Amino acid sequence: MDAWNRRDLEAAFGLTSPQIEYVNSPVAVEPGTRRGKDEYARVVNAQWEFLGDAILAIQDERTSGNEVLTLLGVRRSLAGSESTVTAQIAVRCTVEDGLVVRQEILRPEDFRAG
């Protein structure tokens, strides 16, 4: 999350497998599965562009074997205003040999049910 919040793609790459699989939620603006660091970079850069000054914060997490399920809070400013908006998302990461090999974006309800 720190790398995402700093907009540091190279740091994020240091934590991911070259063959990373990124699975976006079916209800996302760009749903579907992306594979490899080039496609992952496109997704992350699109998030940064779309979400502007958004910051992610870990609110809760669970681990089971090689999977980590995280509930994230997302906070961002409203353009032209001092107001902010907040939302939650859930992210499931599969880790192998210390690197994220799969990252799946889920609904917050999936975290609470899981």
- For the stretch 4-25, pLDDT in tens is 999 999 999 999 999 999 999 8
Q: Which CATH architecture fits 2-113?
A: Roll (3.10)
Per-residue confidence band for 44, with pLDDT thresholds at 50, 70 and 90: very high
What is the strand order of the sheet 16-24 is part of? 32-35, 16-24, 99-106, 84-96, 67-77, 55-64
Contact 69/77 with Cβ under 8 angstroms?
A: no
Q: Exposed, middle or buried by CB within 10 Å (0-12, 13-18, 19+), for 90?
A: buried
In the predicted model, what is the mean pLDDT of residues 35-61?
Answer: 93
Q: Locate the domains of the chain by residue range.
A: 2-113
Q: What is the pTM of this model?
A: 0.89
At 95-104, the pLDDT tens digits run 999 999 999 9
Q: What is the pLDDT of residue 110?
A: 87
